[in-house]
């Protein structure tokens, strides 16, 4: 799911919006959301498509795309001028296999969508690392992002007080085994 959303963000950014935020982009995204929802069902709302683009831009180093990714996708669809349409040369899974995670993905899509609420890149990286290391649930992560835990920790002269406050408030929300019970993680 994470890889799919990252790829969708990449494709929308490069192929649909063509790396620029044009004024017609809003209408294009709205039309694309409607088409994808008709074909694939829920999960492709306008807001989600923008979230996918934001995810791709914010976590561009999460995956390492093969250099020929922009040739594979159009050739699968028979839309490439550089590469003729393939007839069985590529399987449907080749697109997903062409993108390789640079490091193990330790969080769910829900975690990443919460982390995207943070505009600061350093803070996003910190939340990603802390959520994975501390096995924060999405509720704990949302609470910490909403309360600007990272920024309060940076500004505090006594970081132990801020950490203790966070642990006291988040402990009732956090069950370390809940992370393991998550069906997405279990698969």
Does pLDDT of 178 surpass 80? no
pLDDT in tens, 28-83: 888 889 998 998 888 899 999 999 999 999 998 888 765 555 554 554 444 544 43
Decide which of 38 and 183 is more confident.
38
Distance CA 63, CA 100 (A): 5
pLDDT in tens, 90-141: 455 556 666 778 888 889 999 999 999 999 999 999 999 989 988 888 988 9
3-state secondary structure of 144: helix
Cβ-defined contacts of 127-133 (< 8 Å, 24+): 131/107, 132/106, 132/107
> What number is the average pLDDT over the span 145-154?
86
Ordered DSSP codes for 26-75: HHHHHHHHHHHHHHH-SS--HHHHHHHHHHHHHTTTSEEE-TTHHHHHHH
Grade residue 173 by pLDDT with cuts at 50, 70 and 90.
low
Grade residue 8 by pLDDT with cuts at 50, 70 and 90.
confident
Does pLDDT of 171 surpass 80? no
| Tokens 């690392």 belong to residue | 129
Task: Give 6's contacts (C-beta < 8 A, 6+ positions apart).
Answer: 52, 55, 56, 59, 62, 63, 99
Q: Residue 51: what pLDDT?
A: 93
Q: Which two tokens stand for residue 66?
A: 């093969």
Dmax over CA atoms of the chain, in Å, equals: 63
Q: Which two tokens stand for residue 183?
A: 């069906």
Specify whether the CB–CB gap between 75 and 84 falls below 8 A: yes
Distance CA 165, CA 143 (A): 12
């Amino acid at each position: 799911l994470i890889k799919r959303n990252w790829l969708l963000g990449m494709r929308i950014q490069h192929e649909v919006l063509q790396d620029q935020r044009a004024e017609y982009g809003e209408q294009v995204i709205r039309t694309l959301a409607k088409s994808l929802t008709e074909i694939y069902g829920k999960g492709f709302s306008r807001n989600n498509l923008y979230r996918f683009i934001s995810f791709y831009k914010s976590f561009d180093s999460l995956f390492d795309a093969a250099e020929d990714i922009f040739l594979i996708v159009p050739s699968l669809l028979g839309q490439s001028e550089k590469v003729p349409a393939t007839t069985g040369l590529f399987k449907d899974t080749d697109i997903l296999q062409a993108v390789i995670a640079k490091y193990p993905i330790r969080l769910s899509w829900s975690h990443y969508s919460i982390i995207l609420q943070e505009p600061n890149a350093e803070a996003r990286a910190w939340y990603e690392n802390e959520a994975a290391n501390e096995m924060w649930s999405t509720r704990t992560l949302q609470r910490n992002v909403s309360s600007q835990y990272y920024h309060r920790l940076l500004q505090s002269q006594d970081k132990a007080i801020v950490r203790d406050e966070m642990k006291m408030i988040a402990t009732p929300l956090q069950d370390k085994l809940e992370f393991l019970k998550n069906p997405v993680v279990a698969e």
